[in-house]
A = this chain, B = another copy of it.
Amino acid sequence: MKTEQPNYYPSNHPPDDFAEADRAAGFEVGADFERFDQRNDMFSRAFWDDGVQSKEALAFFRSHADRPASRQADGFTQKDYALRNAAWAVADDYADRNKANGLREGFQDPQEPRYPPAEQKLKIDDPAAMTLEIKRVAHFFGAHMAGVTALDPRWLYATRTEVRSFEPKPNDLPDGLTNVIVMGHGMDYDLVNAYPSALAGAAVGMGYSGEATTVAQLSQYIRNLGYQAVGSMNDTALVIPMAIQAGLGEYGRNQMVITKDYGPRVRFSKIFTDMPLAHDQPKPFGVTEFCNVCRRCADACPPKALPFGPPEVGRANRSAIKGVKKWTADCEKCFGFWVKMKSDCAICMRVCPFNKDFRKPIMRLARRLAGTRLRRLMLWLDIKLGYGKRIAPNKWWNP
């Protein structure tokens, strides 16, 4: 593990010392790279961009609130919506805590600290040992995985979004936050297999609600030890590249971090801190090579929002980051489909051959196969054996 901290500084033009980090993570970042503006993500654009804003888009958001209009189709009944929306309740409660002050914690703004850092700072002689301990505490507070990386300012949003006006506002962080603890919350296997449906969205709600509490607890733990800690969910920075840099997984064609224990079924959150910690390294296990030959997500995507070809620089629209060579979705098509369905969609998560219950030895064997030159065989078997098929939501209710 590396313990020295690279001298990263916020800039739209990354200095040369990113080169090594990018090699390890498999990133290709061009000279035309620009930090991403949060107001360009689809969830923000739905509120300010005439090209995206619509009555239907607002209905999509509203359907997550109290009285969803039940569609009486399997997966879209009152019970399905009830479960999904209730699963979100904790994340929503945190998001609304400081609504009166124009904050949307966990989504457009980091969590407000419960208490400031203790005056007494715990002496840390061995950052590597402290890192192991922090990861153990993260698990104690409900995270399913945790990794640490240096704060790479390229992934910080260029600006945050002011949720009342949807105008940009500064993405301020305290000085000295050199490290990021990235955490993952695994999602329910059976629910994800019920995508697309309102019921399946309960897995997302549970992920976000779990994040909200783990981030609140772990960030307060760090502050109780005298260090700064800014707890963050979807706000403040792109978590995907950070999760990869922190060794939690590899980037997939479906735009997701494919993790070893939960495949693509993970919600990520992060804590920015000045606590001295050792850094994890990216840990590839064959995902890139697998995605090169597999197009199951792209094939299965109803609005054809996912790429079929190799990673590319370039973007379909302003919701994609500029200057990074990668598989990039057309988020307008993706979100457009959500709005039409009045529900989120993650078919690309469901059909991914890495979407398995890896507690089972046979599935771990399949994962190992996927990481070898026999990956095409694994893919063939995966399809042949019927993995990735939708499970009727009704089955979740009546197991």
Contacts and interface: CB of A to CB of B under 8 A. Distances in A.
A90 B217 contact: yes
Nearest to A121: B78
Given A86-B224, A141-B86, A224-B86, A93 B94 contact: yes
Contact of A133 (B70, B94, B122, B397): B397
Contacts of A97: 93, 97
Given A93-B114, A216-B90, A224 B85 contact: yes
- Most chain B CB atoms below 10 A, which of A92, A97, A224: A224
A220 interface: yes
Interface in A193-209: 202, 206, 209
Interface string A35-78: 00000000000000000000000000000011110100000001
13 contacts: A66-B115, A66-B118, A78-B118, A78-B224, A78-B225, A79-B122, A82-B225, A86-B217, A86-B220, A89-B217, A90-B217, A97-B97, A140-B206
A221 B84 CA distance: 9
Interface residues of A, number: 44
Interface in A79-118: 79, 81-83, 85-87, 89-90, 92-94, 97, 114-116, 118
A119 interface: yes
B114 A89 contact: yes
Contacts of A90: 213, 216-217
- Most chain B CB atoms below 10 A, which of A90, A206, A223: A90
B86 A218 contact: yes
Contacts of A165: none
Contacts of A68: 118, 224
A83 B137 contact: yes
- Most chain B CB atoms below 10 A, which of A65, A87, A218: A87
Contacts of A83: 137, 140, 221, 224
Contacts of A87: 141, 217
Contact of A224 (B81, B217, B223, B397): B81
Nearest to A216: B89
